[in-house]
Structure 1
Amino acid sequence: MCEADPPRHVGVHAATIYNDASRKLILSYKHGRKIALAGLLARMIAGRLPDLGSEVPLLIPVPLHRWRLWSRGFNQATLLAIELEKLRKGQLVVDGLMRTRRTPSLGGLGRVQREVALKGAIAVRRSRKARIANRDVILVDDVLTSGATSDACVAALLDAGAKSVRIACFARVVDGAGSTPVLQNTTPEAMKTPGAT
């Protein structure tokens, strides 16, 4: 599958796999509003990021739609990107990407359904295109699940002229990891939390 449809990003750098321990941290951070965990999670992510040499990459968080941001009160990916900038892992472009329309909750959807829901929903902000062109980008998120959201973000960034895009996240879903059954799409509690992604 990967050989037939290779990813457009240059790599995924996850602090850990999604298992019982990482699940508890993510749920406390994202749905329990323990945003002070952002620093710890970012330090763990930073430990997995390669040194890209003299050229400083751009840190661009996966965006939330404005209504979801309003209901949650924060974008968990943005907080991680802010902390990664403090750790000198790149320059933050907090509004590099935007959600052009509201998408349904992706919890419970398969990969193809997620791709359909996300089609055309993520774009590079026009005022940031010149800054992104010919730059290496680190796309920041909390959890990488099916990859549909990150794929949409990567496509938008590359289409806007980014030189390369790598993905940095705290946890990556791997089938069969840990003792808790792993969903293909999202954290289990996200299916019960309105507006969760």
Structure 2
Amino acid sequence: MFHGQLQTALRTVYPPSCITCRAPVASDFGLCGECLRQTPFIAGGICNTCGVPVAGLSETETDICEDCLNIPRPWSRGRAVMTYQDMGRTLVLQLKHSDRTDLARPAGAWLARAARPLVQGNTLVLPVPMHRTRLLRRTYNQAVLLARVAARHLERQMVPDLLTRTRRTPMQDQRSFEERFANLDGAVSVCGARARSAGIAGRHVLLIDDVMTSGATLAACAAACLEAGAEEVDIAVLARVHREEFVGRPRASPDAAP
């Protein structure tokens, strides 16, 4: 009873507010009506490999988008919560560059909902790693924050340090698709000791990241997991960049410096 009274008092003093504009909302970690309308959550038919919307499909249908037809993907299936535009771009950049770690809580829950159809009984959730020098500068890896929340909702094991960046790669911003893949070649590996303790061999892996542009980073991670003995790899990202968005708006890349 006391706990309920305390919660009521706290809500009176600190009422729930929109995670982006701070307007009043009905529940914690929610979006107001206006921000919700500006957030491009993915609905309808999608690419089964990367999760991007595919025109002409019903809500339950999947196909393969042009990018995934032309670019070999080492993973099997993929899902994305939103497209990287409008409020989707704002949320990613705030989480990634503005110390808005609180956004990981709702975003991780959205990721879990999108990725649930991919989850298997032996799924191991892994975040995309960040090089230690970049981690020291930023102080947190947004993919780890998202993966931790998503794994909790999915009730699956998450290992934050199984994948590691073997070298610091230059920023991907304004690089072509081909340059992005070359930049990540051999840049990710599996930590042998963590792989043995986590038991990656023979398991299904769900890779989590904040955003997918070309897929080069996710491809490097998926290849490392398969090389370490994973049976299958799927991916889930908070936002997916459209090809036209990537080509037409290089300055808006999520890899750009804050």
Q: What interval of TM-score do these two structures reach, taking the shorter chain for normalisation?
A: 0.7 to 0.9
Matched, 1:34 2:100: yes
How far off its partner does 1:114 sit?
1.6
* Aligned residue in 2 for 1:162: 230
Q: Deviations over 1:134-184 (max 9, x none)?
A: 00000010001111111111111111110111111100011346xxx5449
Structure 2 CA distance for aligned equivalents of residues 153 and 37 of structure 1: 24
CA-CA distance at 1:89 after TM superposition? 4.5
In 2, Cα distance between equivalents of 1:99 and 1:133? 20
Q: Which moved more, 1:82-91 or 1:48-57?
A: 48-57
Alignment of 1:1-197 (within 5 A): 2-3=68-69, 6-51=72-117, 55-130=121-196, 131-176=199-244, 181-183=248-250, 186-187=253-254, 190-193=255-258
How many residues end up aligned between the 2 structures?
188
Aligned-partner Cα distance in 2 for 1:165–1:175: 23
Quote the RMSD (CA, aligned, Å). 2.1
Letter in 2 for 1:84: A
Q: Shift of residue 55 of structure 1?
A: 1.1
Mean CA deviation greater in 68-77 or 168-177? 168-177
Gaps in structure 1 of 5+ consecutive residues: none
**Alignment CA distance shift 1:44-1:182 (3 Å):** farther
From the superposition, tell whether residues 16 and 154 of structure 1 become closer, same or farther in structure 2 (CA, over 3 Å).
same
Query: Whose helix fraction is larger, Structure 1's or Structure 2's?
Result: 2
Aligned mates of 2:136, 2:119 — CA distance in 1: 37
Name which of structure 1's ranges 12-21 and 72-81 shifts more when overlaid on structure 2.
Answer: 12-21
* Range that drifts further, 71-80 or 114-123: 114-123
- The answer on whether the counterparts of 2:209 and 2:236 sit within 8 Å (CA) in structure 1 is yes
Which blocks of at least 5 consecutive residues in structure 2 are unaligned? 1-66
Identity of aligned residues (%): 38
CA separation of 1:158 and 1:184: change in aligned 2, threshold 3 A: farther
**C-alpha spacing 1:89/1:166, structure 2 compared with 1 (3 Å):** farther
Normalising by structure 2, what TM-score? 0.68
For CA contacts below 8 A with separation 6 or more, give which structure has more relative contact order.
1
Are the counterparts in 2 of residues 56 and 89 from structure 1 also a CA contact under 8 Å?
no
Q: 1:52 to 1:18 in 2, by over 3 A?
A: closer
